[in-house]
Amino acid sequence: MTFDKVIMVDWSGGNDRGLRPVKDAIWACIATAGVAEDPIYLRNRQLAEDWLADTLATLQSAGHRVLVGFDLCFAYPSGFATHLIGSEDTLALWDWFEARVQDSPKANNRFDLAGDINARFPGTGPFWFNGLARDIAHLPRKGNDRTADHGLAEKRAADIAIPGSFSPWQLAGAGAVGGQVIMGLPVLSRLRKRFGPSLSVWPFQAPDAQIVLAETYFSLLPDLIANDPNPIKDAAQVSLYARAFSALPATDLEILFDIEGTSEGWVLGAGQSQMLRNALTTNPPPLKNDCFAMPQGAHWTPVDDAHQHLRDKLTCVTGTETVQVKDAANRFLAQNAQAIRSHPPAPNAAVDGYGFTGPAPAGITRLKLVDGRSAAGAPYDGTVPLGHAIRILTGANLPEDVDTVVLQEDVNTTDTEISFHGPLKRGANARDAGEDMQAGETILQKGRKITPADLGMLSAAGVGTVTAHKPLRVGILSTGDELREPGDTTTDGQIYDANRPMLSALVASWGYKVIDLGRAPDNRDTLRTILDDATTNCDVILSSGGASAGDEDHMSALLEGTGSFALWRIAMKPGRPLALGLWRDTPVFGLPGNPVAAMVCALVFAAPSLGVMAGGAWQNPTRYQLPAAFSKSKKEGRREYLRARVEDGQVIIFPSEGSGRVSGLSWATGLVELDDPAQKIAPGDLVTYIPFNSFA
């Protein structure tokens, strides 16, 4: 069982909540494979119903299979429907409500209808808690005003299974759900009619239609909600549950839906909070087996085509988790981050000086000093009358009516007054509340790689945790019988492994977690074992060497057997073929063995690819146009990367282009990129220079 789209809806029984997003309104969120879109604020039921109908129609025609979860009881305790409509057919009961509920953004008849229903039952009837000022016939004010002789249970089996849940009979009071149930069933009834047989309602119908509606409960993971950075709890809830349900493996979904349906229904996920919790931290689906398939032909693939292919086919492979802001540097945000509090939270002084009610005219201004001062963390809570000033320090809140600060260096003071030369504009040296960030404002977008400055901004806005992708785990492997560890004794036929320390440090500098996979000999069985082990703790493997199609190119040979292998012959220098494939779902980037080519291919292809797999967007490096201090002519039809550095504003290149010269990599601070067409470069011509640290 799978759903490729999950929508979670937090329902509400109240009237229109206004334009500004607030809690206790209707909130909805769409998620795909564990990644949620921004929660949607729906200020009344009419808008929510339209949004649901439109969204479902769009998803349906695009061929998606959709699960819609509502935080809304789909049914009442058993026996209710039989007494009211003569059968336990819950879906017919929905239609009964649909015919009787009146609803508009400003008013609805839920309390009156509940009274009417009660009148049809023995005793006081099941519904209770009139939340209106006026009395309603047959609707008790409080729980203890009623009798149980209506013969119905107070809660359904599903409600009893969930600690802390409320009875659908209770219409008002903190936490009550009864009102929203009456106001929700007619909407559900109309959605059923609109979508006909392509919609089914679980557990009253089999969950095999294209659109499946189910009842959920949003308080199964209270600790995760409490940690969510979204200040509006309802928005945090729909996002969290949409992510969880959309990330559930098919086998888990099967278990959740495998419930014997009764007329009382069931809450999807009740008693299975651990399963939902796991879904939030497990990884998204793996890459598709054909993601590296490139049309093979005699032609060399241009770098731009190779980029476009990777960009189209690669997806994020890391799950998400809640991270403390202090630990979030280099992580990719999985959810937008909102300011919890405005920054600054109150108007305050930008300098040390004296605060007063501005402006001050040209000429000398004299002001009496009030007794007291305002310092950062110790605001002054008295008043500062007109004609007075107060001693104020940088960052201190401005007392009421104070809006202007004169710099202490510009002031003459006595014990009782100050004087200074005007003019000074109103608002001078003062900061407005929220001038930097407003509470609730989105301050960072999902997909952002969090920088040190971002940590400062998030902290200033009161954000303690963010939802981020787990760090990408990158395995680094060198291959070749000739390789030895620096420091080992060697024979002439052996060389030191230069790539592994170099690529490990490079990947670490990009902010990912490096897994050292060591060196593999030119032996297929050993390499196979190393790859098998690597798939247990790596999200992606960067290997170097053995990637061509020769006798000792065991990486290519092994990947070939997986059916996912492609040898990309890319029109670039330096570079040999790039071997790409999936080993048990784990992507392998087989880089050339030659250190210069390995480094350049890692920068040009691995850097942007890893960014996408880690949860970011495809990122092109920042390129600078600078005058060349060299001459060079190049052939048509391939891209060339030269080891380069910038001196006195000009680009110089390493004297040798020999790709065995690893010393030139160390000398360089970046690469010159020469485009595919033939060209002759003379000193002074502008060339493209990319610093190494711009690649990721």
For Mg ion, the closer of residues 480 and 664 by Cβ is 480
Q: Residue 657 CB, nearest distance to Mg ion (Å)? A: 22
- By beta-carbon distance, which residue lies closest to ligand AMP? 593
Q: Name the one range near ligand AMP by CB under 6 A: 203-211, 461-469, 484-492, 539-547.
A: 539-547
Nearest residue relative to Mg ion (C-beta): 480
Residue of 499, 543, 556, 659 interacting with ligand AMP (CB under 6 A): 499
Give the nearer residue to Mg ion in terms of CB position, either 207 or 545.
545
400: tokens are 């009421």
Cα 630 to Cα 652: distance, rounded to the nearest angstrom: 6
CB of 522 to ligand AMP, least distance (A): 8
Per CB under 6 A, the segment of 111-119, 232-240, 586-594, 623-631 that binds ligand AMP is 586-594
Residue closer to ligand AMP by CB (options 23, 524) is 524
Residue from 360, 483, 566, 642 touching ligand AMP (CB under 6 A): that is 483
Residues binding ligand AMP: number (CB under 6 A):
18
Least distance in angstroms from the C-beta of 545 to Mg ion = 4
Please state whether the peptide bond connecting residue 608 to the residue before it is cis, i.e. omega within 30 degrees of 0.
Answer: no
Query: Is residue 560 a contact point for ligand AMP (CB under 6 A)?
Result: no
Q: Which two tokens stand for residue 565?
A: 């292998």
Q: How far is the CB of 516 from ligand AMP (least distance, A)?
A: 13
Q: Is 575 in the site for ligand AMP (CB under 6 A)?
A: no
Tell me phi and psi for residue 640, to 5 degrees: -120, 140
Nearest to 265 by CA among 349, 357, 368, 184: 184
> In this complex, which beta carbon is closest to ligand AMP, that of residue 402 or of residue 559?
559
From 34, 353, 592, 670, residue interacting with ligand AMP (rule: CB under 6 A)? 592
- Say how many C-beta atoms besides its own lie within 10 A of residue 296's C-beta: 11
Picked from ligand AMP, Mg ion, none, the partner binding residue 220 (CB below 5 to 8 A depending on kind) is: none
Q: Tell which one of 12, 478, 564, 586 touches ligand AMP (CB under 6 A).
A: 478
Shortest distance (Å) from residue 554 CB to Mg ion: 9
| Cβ contact 386:366 at 8 Å | no
Instruction: Output the CA–CA distances (angstroms, integers) from residue 694 to 315, 619, 651, in the order listed.
Output: 22, 10, 16
Candidates 21, 353, 511, 546; binder of ligand AMP (CB under 6 A) is 546
Binding of residue 497 to ligand AMP (CB under 6 A): yes
Applying CB under 6 A, among 167, 189, 544, 556 the residue interacting with ligand AMP is: 544
Of 204-212, 300-308, 310-318, 480-488: span binding ligand AMP (CB under 6 A)? 480-488
Contact 146, 133 (CB under 8 A): no
Question: Which one, 10 or 497, has the nearer CB to ligand AMP?
Answer: 497
CB of 248 to ligand AMP, least distance (A): 41
Kindly tell me which residue out of 239, 263, 338, 594 binds ligand AMP, with binding defined by CB under 6 A.
594
Rounded Cα distance between 682 and 639, Å, is 18
Least separation, in Å, of the C-beta of 552 and ligand AMP?
7
Q: Binding ligand AMP by CB under 6 A: which of 31, 136, 232, 547?
A: 547
Give the 3-state DSSP-derived string for 664-688, with helices as H, strands as E and coil as C.
Answer: HHHHCCEEEEECCCCEEECCCCEEE
Rule CB under 6 A: is residue 593 a binding residue for ligand AMP? yes
Minimum CB distance to ligand AMP, residue 507 (Å): 14
- DSSP secondary structure string, 413-447? E-SSEEEEEEEE-TTTTEE-TTSSB-TT-EEE-TT
Nearer to Mg ion, 587 or 590 (CB): 590
Say whether residue 545 binds ligand AMP (CB under 6 A): yes
Q: Say how many C-beta atoms besides its own lie within 10 A of residue 87's C-beta.
A: 11
Per the CB < 8 A criterion, the answer to whether 387 and 434 are in contact is no
495 binds ligand AMP (CB under 6 A): yes
Show Cβ contacts of residue 387 under 8 Å, excluding neighbours closer than 6 positions: 367, 368
Is 504 an interacting residue with respect to ligand AMP (CB under 6 A)? Answer: no
For the CB of residue 503, give the shortest distance to Mg ion in the complex, in Å: 15
**Tokens 């119908």, residue?**
205
Question: Among 82, 78, 31, which residue's Cα sits nearest to residue 320?
Answer: 31
When the beta carbons of 508 and 646 are compared against ligand AMP, the nearer one is 508
| Burial class of residue 635, CB neighbours in 10 A (0-12, 13-18, 19+) | exposed
Q: In the bound complex, what is the minimum distance in angstroms from residue 591's beta carbon to ligand AMP?
A: 9
364 vs 495, which CB is nearer to ligand AMP?
495
> Cα 235 to the chain's mean position, in Å?
14
List all residues 6 or more positions away from 156 whose beta carbon is below 8 Å from its beta carbon.
Answer: 73, 75, 76, 77, 78, 168, 264, 265
264 binds ligand AMP (CB under 6 A): no
Residue 577 in contact with ligand AMP, rule: CB under 6 A: no
Query: ω into residue 344 within 30 of 0, thus cis?
Result: yes
In angstroms, how far is the first alpha carbon of the chain from the final one? 38
The region of 199-207, 446-454, 538-546, 616-624 touching ligand AMP under the rule CB under 6 A is: 538-546
**Smallest separation, CB 546 to Mg ion (Å):** 5
Region of 81 (left: φ > 0; alpha: ψ -120 to 50; beta: rest) is alpha
Q: Measured between alpha carbons, how far is residue 691 from residues 43, 311, 509, 621 in Å?
A: 49, 22, 14, 9
The binder of 467, among Mg ion, ligand AMP, none, by C-beta within 5 to 8 A per type, is none
5: amino acid identity, one letter: K
Residues that bind ligand AMP (CB under 6 A): 478, 480, 482-483, 495, 497-500, 544-548, 592-595
